[in-house]
Amino acid sequence: MRYTTEAGTPMTAIPPDPEPAQTPDLEPGGGVTPGATPPDSDQMSGIGKVEENPRHRISAGSVTTIIAVGVFALIFLAIAVVMVLNMTGVAD
């Protein structure tokens, strides 16, 4: 069977929708008989692995980051104070 578009040009792939004339157990209105429908898909039930809460609220990486930001802020503040003192002539 060759599939064509409404304009009559041939299609390169089979359409994703099934051909109604070739679908088994299809009623005239488009529905299927109750026994012809596939069963419901399986469902996963139960619980997964229980995860434990972390022992520490702050990790080593976050402590290192906090210390690095603090040192950077102190260096920035010290340089700013020295620049202000030089501009005002106090540190000359």
pLDDT in tens, 6-64: 667 666 666 566 666 766 777 777 677 777 765 454 556 667 778 888 777 888 899 99
Q: How confident is the model at residue 81 (pLDDT cuts 50, 70, 90)?
A: very high
pTM, 2 dp: 0.40
- Output the pLDDT for position 51: 81
Q: What is the DSSP string of the chain?
A: ---B-TTSPBPSS--SSPPGGG-TTB-TTS-B-GGGSPPPPP---S--PPPPPPS-SS-HHHHHHHHHHHHHHHHHHHHHHHHHHHHHTTT-
Contact 25, 36 (CB under 8 A): yes
